[in-house]
Amino acid sequence: MNEKKTLTDYPIHELLAERWSPYAFDDRPVPEEDLRSLFEAVRWAPSSYNEQPWRYIVCTKDDPEQFKRLLSCLVEGNQIWAKAAPVLALGVVSLRFARNARDNRAAVHDLGLAAGNLLLEATTRGLLVHQMIGILPDKAREIYGIPEGFEAWTALAIGYKGDPMSLPDQLRERDLAPRQRKPLREFVFSGKWENPSPLVLNK
């Protein structure tokens, strides 16, 4: 996994520098105790009013029928590579506060925080996670009986690094490419929009 460790402009925790999202997954199963710990990490993510608006539908290749059902909720382009992962999950979010039924503008943000906890815990265990927005929410609702007020928002493929040579050409190139990010000056502002903060002008 360290082959994708990035060179950062400023020091960050090595787990953040090592985390990346592969397309190629090995078919080695993920131990159940590791999966439980991933979702325990989700459980302790922060959320607005402690609503914990996330729900996850999880399946492994130990149950091929369930795996096939969840895989069918991904767009075709994601099915091509995600079918190799040993674990798939759908991230579902409650769009209203349970406390008063009002719209929860923080819900999707909080789902992201939960996913961030899961990613970090996965990285500590030598696991890799690839998140996807390319899903079929209506199909997920139909298959899993997701109630009104909830929506399938993302999917996650979880497992161990596979061989990029198993991928179609375009995906192989993405898997082998170095990680890249925008410089801080492009998104850390001060004074007015797109005016880089003095904090980040030296890079």
The dihedral formed by the CA atoms of 69, 74, 80 and 84, expressed in degrees to the nearest 10: -50
Helix extents (H) in the chain: 14-18, 32-43, 64-71, 76-82, 107-124, 137-144, 169-176
Q: Which domains does the chain have, with CATH numbers?
A: 2-166+182-200 (3.40.109.10)
For 148-179, write each residue's pLDDT tens digit.
Answer: 999 999 999 999 999 999 999 999 999 999 88
Residue 6 pLDDT grade (very low, low, confident, very high; cuts 50, 70, 90): confident
What would the two tokens of residue 115 be? 């996913």
For 35-84, write each residue's pLDDT tens digit.
Answer: 999 999 999 999 999 999 999 999 999 999 999 999 999 999 999 999 99
